Amino acid sequence: MSNTIYGYARVSTKSQKLERQVENLLKYEPTITILKEKYTGTTTDRPVFNKLLKRVKEGDTIIFDSVSRMSRDADEGYKIYKDLFTKGVNLIFLNEPHINTSVYAKALGQKVNLGADTELIQEVETFINRILDILAKEQIQIAFNQAEKEVKDIQTRVREGIRTAKLKKKAKSSK
pLDDT digits 0-9 by tens, 86-99: 899 999 999 998 88
State pTM to two decimals: 0.70
Q: Give the span between the Cα atoms of 91 and 68, in whole angstroms.
A: 13
Q: How confident is the model at residue 137 (pLDDT cuts 50, 70, 90)?
A: confident
With a cut of 80, say whether residue 119 has pLDDT above it: no
Confidence of residue 18 (pLDDT cuts 50, 70, 90): very high
Q: What is the pLDDT of residue 135?
A: 67
Average pLDDT along the chain: 82
Whole-angstrom distance, CA of residue 137 vs CA of residue 99: 9
Question: Which of the pair, 56 or 76, is modelled with greater confidence?
Answer: 56
Alpha carbons 147 and 139: distance in angstroms, whole number: 13
Does the pLDDT at position 112 exceed 60? no
Q: What is the DSSP letter of 41?
A: S
Percent of the chain with pLDDT over 70: 79
The C-alpha atoms of residue 147 and residue 142 are separated, in whole angstroms, by 9
- Rounded mean pLDDT of 43-70? 93
At 166, is the pLDDT very low, low, confident or very high (cuts 50, 70, 90)? Answer: confident
Angle, nearest 10°, between helix axes 74-87 and 119-173? Answer: 140
Residues 63-79, mean pLDDT to the nearest whole number: 87
Q: If we measure between CA atoms, which residue out of 32, 31, 50, 91 comes closest to residue 67? A: 91
